[in-house]
Amino acid sequence: MHLESFRAYCLAKPGTTEDLPFGPDTLVFKVMGKMFAATGLDSAEFTVNLKCDPDRALELREQHPEVQPGYHMNKKHWNTVSFEGALTDGQLRELIDHSYELVVQSLPKKVQKELHNS
């Protein structure tokens, strides 16, 4: 998956916005104001930080060398995923979906309702 298809996939999700809150080199995707994905725009390798269930994060890291503890993030809840490795586009989309859903589930019920009604 390339950066543009990753960007389009994220932006197609309800309530998603993109932003550069950490400067011009880090693109962040948020759902209802909460981050679910971030990528460096000036990195040699295309990697994305994605939120992940802590138990699943450990499992993924054991199974896939492309999945590492989150760079500059809480390593219990975030993975840095290489989008240039052996993971398929389907697997990458599933990891994006998982991150998005975890963040949606953590939103206040009122905000979740706004999201589902939009």
Name 32's Cβ contacts closer than 8 Å, sequence gap at least 6: 15, 104, 107, 111, 114, 115
Residues 18-34: what's their mean pLDDT? Answer: 96
Q: Can you give the length of the chain in residues?
A: 118
Sign of the alpha-carbon torsion through 48, 3, 31, 23? positive
Q: Compute the chain's Rg from CA coordinates.
A: 14
What pLDDT, in 10s, does the model give residues 27-66? Answer: 999 999 999 999 999 988 999 999 999 999 999 999 999 9
Please provide the CATH number assigned to the domain covering 3-113. Answer: 3.90.1150.30
CB 111 within 8 A of CB 80: no
Please, which pLDDT band fits residue 71 given cuts at 50, 70 and 90? confident
Please, which pLDDT band fits residue 117 given cuts at 50, 70 and 90? confident
Output the average pLDDT for the chain: 95
Give domain limits for the chain.
3-113
Alpha-carbon distance values, 25 to 18, 38, 82 (Å): 13, 10, 17
What's the pTM value of the predicted model, to 2 decimals? 0.95
